[in-house]
Structure 1
């Protein structure tokens, strides 16, 4: 039956709004569109309003909109034979798709299409003007959407680089600031859970163990927590009716630099304004801004925990945490991790660490066997000695800070910088003179190249000297502040009586065991420790340094 010959049309009012397209909320609101269309249809006695389809928040580029698809189903079912929109841009902003529906799909299905503000009504017949103007207007709408997309992308990129948060939802542990939605502030309840997760990992728990503990405690997962706050949050990670904590969710938190004040955005994008499928961007293209918000976790703790994630720290059967030295102790020769071995003897058990390589291939490495008890005692002793040494360094540095050494040393380095700068300018001048001689044909090309090569080497040497001296001055000026940071870290653990997993991973990076029983401990902040020793050695050569006074500071 040809429904176009009927005198009465069953119409669907279609309205759409999307700020993604650059639509202005005030002029093109859903309410305004409905009112305008109703007023227009009051004059059309042959049109009955059967339904109103609303796509609020959907881009006009993509026609996979819920209300639009519902309307098309009603059309196919014969319930609707007329579509009325405010204008062509409300119908869609995709030039090709809009033209396909208006000029092919709707005529084929016998559907009357009305765009009020564009003065288009397909029932009144297609004119030459319509055939030209409708595709032209669709093309303009498409171009407008493209230009808006470019502008919006540029604005968002500028905001990202400024450190503004532009996501729809804040990550677990944070919330959008009430004063500025582009700034993050700490959500104290969720932040306390984040701190617990890092603490438990530091104490030796696995990601799955942490997830199980959170679920047992009845702590809502990040998704469920957002929903409990009334946020319309969705994720692809949910597989059950109520999302629970998982090892993946825990690891995601442990590796997220957001918790140390670093905001990383722009990780995903769409190819263009017409394709909404999101793709991953290379890491070098991410926008990374440090100190954009208050951290929940210290950088020191974050670095320690993430170094643990690189080690093989599987939980032993019937244990809740890893062993004391898991992932820390390694063979001094093959550099592979050592494994904990149980040796039963009558009614007792003895524990040893042995090379994992030797266990699977006797010819590749020797056992490097060492008693766990003796090893633990040796490490405890070494830690206490190292911390005592650090405390001595602190006292000497405090004494040096009272001397005129700093100012004298800076003046000396400044003089060296001035001298090097003069040398730099001299050789740059010589290069220019050589070029002039070459142009005047006073020297050959080969001679000129030889001169340039020699002067470039001298220039590079002078530039390096300037950079080195400036770095030395910076080290002298900032030495006390920088020193306090790493020294305070060790001071927290002075007078250790018993080793714990937290102490081991906080103070030690790696321990190597050799076949002859030698133990090589790589402490954390080893570079800072050695820099402090060099600084003290340099200061001791100053005339203002009093060795006896420094010795008294130590004792």
Structure 2
């Protein structure tokens, strides 16, 4: 999932901790290369943020000067994680929603429809066998037999296609529910966080891209498929 957020300012953590907080996570949104650490030119010459590696090493003819201060980066990522976490309903609300879920979208409904289709297919197959018996006993002509069988087979094909589509919907519903559960599990403990940690960043984030204006795009490892 991608969330595009404007940069904001706040107090930074210590430079040594911040230095490794986003290590291996930051990339330029245009050239897609990694961002390099940026250090202050004056004073303590401490770590202050990141800058595009392509711009830093090859110049502006190859990429623009994408950069971001560590203060801005920390606050924006922290805000985004908390915002994701706050979207999660508590367990009681989730249970209540599951009880109120629309019946036609439930797994049980799909299974009932699939069972009904299969019973119809079995019934038509029975008709085919009976029609063959009637033909063998000269109760119907060959032309009548072929006409009946052709109609039965056309109906079976249509029913099998309906069955295939329903099975796909049922599998998709199950997959989306699994993705939702993963998303809840990943973010539920971060509603009231006040400080980022390396473990938190590694658990939740796949990569972060920095735009030319200093805003960022966060690619999370987990997503709410219904959000």
TM-score by length of 2: 0.63
Following superposition, the deviation at residue 397 of structure 1 comes to: 2.1
Query: For 2:96, which of 395, 399, 402 is the aligned residue?
Result: 399
Q: How many Å separate the matches in 2 of 1:332 and 1:426?
A: 59
Instruction: Give the Cα–Cα distance (whole angstroms) in 2 for the partners of residues 423 and 355 of structure 1.
Output: 63
Which sections of structure 2, spanning at least 5 residues, go unmatched?
A: 1-15, 127-142, 144-153
Residue in 2 that maps onto 1:323: 20
Contact 2:18-2:70 within 8 A present in 1 as well: no
Which aligned pairs between 1:512-523 and structure 2 lie closer than 5 A? 512-523=209-220
Select which of 59, 72, 82 maps to 1:374: 72
Aligned pairs (5 A) from 1:201-350: 323-347=20-44, 349=46
Contact 2:27–2:52 under 8 Å retained in 1 = yes
Task: Say if 1:352 and 1:371, in contact at 8 Å, map to a contact too.
Answer: yes
Q: Distance in 2 between matches of 1:360 and 1:424?
A: 68
How far is the alpha carbon of 1:393 from its aligned partner? 6.9
Deviations along 1:345-384, whole A, 9 cap, x unmatched? 3456461211112223222221211111111111111111
SS of the counterpart of 1:505?
helix
Computing the radius of gyration from Cα coordinates, the structure with the larger value is 1
CA distance in 2, matches of 1:395, 1:512: 36
Mind listing any 5+ residue stretches in structure 1 that lack a counterpart?
Answer: 1-318, 430-441, 443-453, 535-555
Quote the Cα distance in structure 2 between the aligned partners of 1:486 and 1:389. Answer: 10
Taking a change above 3 Å as real, the CA distance of residues 409 and 500 of structure 1, as seen in their structure-2 partners, is closer
3-state secondary structure, aligned to 2:209: strand
Change (3 A) 1:387 1:344: same
1:412 corresponds to? 109
1:389 to 2:87 alignment:
yes
The aligned length equals: 185
Tell me how far apart the structure 2 counterparts of residues 518 and 328 of structure 1 sit (CA, whole Å): 15
> Does the aligned pair in 1 maintain the 2:26–2:209 contact within 8 Å?
yes
Query: Whose helix proportion is higher, 1 or 2?
Result: 2
Does the Cα contact within 8 Å between 2:85 and 2:189 map onto a contact in 1? no
Aligned-partner Cα distance in 1 for 2:123–2:45: 79
Residue by residue over 1:455-497, the C-alpha shift from the partner in whole angstroms, topping out at 9 and shown as x without a partner, is: 9x96884453132143256469xx4x87555423322333111
**1:368–1:320 Cα change, 3 Å:** closer
Q: Distance in 2 between matches of 1:408 and 1:376?
A: 40
Q: Which residue is equivalent to 1:365?
A: 63
TM-superposed deviation, 1:321: 10
- Give the drift of 1:511: 1.1
The 1:352/1:490 distance shift into structure 2, 3 A limit, reads: same
Q: Counterparts of 1:391-540 in structure 2 under 5 Å?
A: 392=89, 396-403=93-100, 405=102, 409-418=106-115, 421=118, 461-471=161-171, 474=174, 479=177, 486-526=183-223, 529-530=224-225, 533=226
How many Å separate the matches in 2 of 1:342 and 1:424? 72
Query: What is the rounded CA distance, in whole Å, between the counterparts of 1:418 and 1:370 in structure 2?
Result: 58
Distance 1:510 1:471, change over 3 A: same
Alignment of 1:113-132 (within 5 A): none
SS in 2 for 1:345: coil
SS at match of 2:55: helix
**Greater relative contact order structure (CA < 8 Å, 6+ sep):** 2
Query: Which residue number corresponds to residue 52 of structure 2?
Result: 355
Q: What TM-score does the superposition give when structure 1 sets the normalisation length?
A: 0.28
Deviations 1:408-452 (A, max 9, x none): 8345323442465478779999xxxxxxxxxxxx9xxxxxxxxxx
3-state SS of the aligned residue for 1:517?
A: coil
Cα displacement (A) at 1:389 = 1.1
Q: Name the SS of the counterpart of 1:504 in structure 2.
A: helix
Aligned to 1:42: none
Check whether the contact 2:85–2:188 (CA below 8 A) recurs between aligned residues: yes
Alpha-carbon distance, 1:334 to partner: 2.0
d(CA) in 1 for partners of 2:29, 2:118: 47
